Structure 1
Amino acid sequence: MNALETMRALASQGEVIQAPAGESIFSSGETGDCMFGVLEGTVELTWNDEVGHEVIQAGDVFGAGALVTAEHRRYGNAKAVSDCKLLKMNREKFLFAVQESPMFAIELLGSIDQRLRQLKDCTKVG
């Protein structure tokens, strides 16, 4: 089972939200207590007054800092580029997912690592 399949399985028991194209999911400076998994659609993440940006797809997560930092404040903005279906996971739901499917954590780390490498490569070009 890959990360997207695990998120879809969790969606049957978890909190799924719909975000129409153009809708803000969260903004920089807001308090955050959950992360989101993209089940369907595309989300744009921006930071540093939109100087930095990344577009993520189904199977990716964003806002994970909220699960590991007490009194977390969002670092950037998240906006639905297309109509999205998102799995909202608080710390307890995330820990449950990892307990039920330990590979979920490894798959998410792999996805985040790949995204960081792509961002690093983009900064070399510019």
Structure 2
Amino acid sequence: MDWHLIKGGFFDGLDQEFEAFRRLATLRRVKKNEIVFFENDVCARSFYLDEGSVKIFRVSLHGKEPTFFIRSPGEMFGLAEVVGGERRKCSAQALADCKLLEIGRDEFLALMLDHPMLSRRVIEVLGRRIRYLSGQLENLMTCGVPTRLLKLLLCLSHDEIAQARGGPAEVPVRLTQGQIASMTGSCQQTVSETLSSFEARGLIAVSRQRITLLDPGAIMEALSSDES
């Protein structure tokens, strides 16, 4: 089975743990827009994303769908509730055709007991995700839409920016303006106008849901000046 270990992903540096995981995991193919799991589902499995992209979201009482995370290849998702034995707090939906490696809760917990470094990685990842959500809450309370949008683009493109070494970096997932709005606490019209202003300033290029950061350094400088 051609399963990939993404460098910089969840299992980076954990080759032995990844091999043990692969022996227990099963392949699941998910079509674009298909739901992987629903909010309030019993947490029976967690997932390694081998190909594609997945959004983690909730549906509010008013019908809105705030998106909290976008999962990319190499990432695990559905972790927190599986470890805690709780029902799902969010839903997960494929943004593109996906290949997932899924593992049962009992098998994953046993794997963590047998491999302390895997347990440590789970703690590290969940800690980063809590800090990310805390930062998003702070951004909503203190930052305008342009700042929130720039921070989101930088966050989504972190690995690509490192590889580009100062050159243009493409946001690795295709997002509609509506999806971007749901991640920044804004509306589609405001996102459209803000992206257009970034293009006019030469910060980004937009084409068919593809966003390229033309000058990540200039974006970081723009954020620094906004926050100073």
Contact 2:10–2:76 (8 Å) recurs in 1: no
Contact 2:56–2:90 (8 Å) recurs in 1: yes
- Using the TM superposition, give the Cα deviation of residue 107 of structure 1 relative to its aligned residue in structure 2, in angstroms: 1.5
- The 2-side partners of 1:8 and 1:17 are apart by 18
Residue in 1 aligned with 2:84?
Answer: 68
Q: Which has the higher helix share?
A: 2
- The 2-side partners of 1:110 and 1:38 are apart by 18
Q: Give 1:3's aligned amino acid.
A: F
- Mean Cα deviation higher: 95-104 or 77-86: 95-104
TM-score, normalised with respect to structure 1:
0.79
- Using the TM superposition, give the Cα deviation of residue 113 of structure 1 relative to its aligned residue in structure 2, in angstroms: 1.4
* DSSP-derived class of the 2:100 partner: strand
Q: Which runs of 5+ in 2 are unaligned?
A: 141-228
Contact 1:37–1:87 (8 Å) recurs in 2: yes
Q: Give 2:66's aligned amino acid.
A: V
Contact 2:29–2:98 (8 Å) recurs in 1: yes
* Alignment of 1:78 onto 2:98: no
Q: 1:31-77: CA deviations, max 9, x gaps?
A: 221122222221100025223421122333222213432xx422111
Larger Rg: 2
- The 1-side partners of 2:97 and 2:21 are apart by 20
* Alignment of 1:89 onto 2:103: yes
Q: 1:3 aligns with which of 10, 32, 37?
A: 10
Residue in 2 aligned with 1:57?
Answer: 72
* DSSP-derived class of the 1:31 partner: coil
- The 2-side partners of 1:12 and 1:93 are apart by 11
Contact 1:3–1:107 (8 Å) recurs in 2: yes
* DSSP-derived class of the 2:74 partner: coil
Contact 1:44–1:80 (8 Å) recurs in 2: yes
Aligned-residue RMSD, C-alpha? 2.4
Q: 1:16 aligns with which of 23, 27, 33?
A: 27
- Mean Cα deviation higher: 48-57 or 112-121: 48-57
Give the number of aligned pairs: 124
TM-score, normalised with respect to structure 2:
0.47
Q: Which runs of 5+ in 1 are unaligned?
A: none
- Mean Cα deviation higher: 116-125 or 51-60: 51-60
Q: Judging changes above 3 Å, is the alpha-carbon distance between structure 1 residues 66 and 96 closer, same or farther for their aligned structure 2 residues?
A: closer
Residue in 2 aligned with 1:32?
Answer: 43
Q: 1:57-110: CA deviations, max 9, x gaps?
A: 2333222213432xx422111001122221212123213432453211211221
Q: Which has the higher strand share?
A: 1
- The 2-side partners of 1:47 and 1:8 are apart by 33
Q: Judging changes above 3 Å, is the alpha-carbon distance between structure 1 residues 47 and 7 closer, same or farther for their aligned structure 2 residues?
A: farther
- The 2-side partners of 1:40 and 1:54 are apart by 16
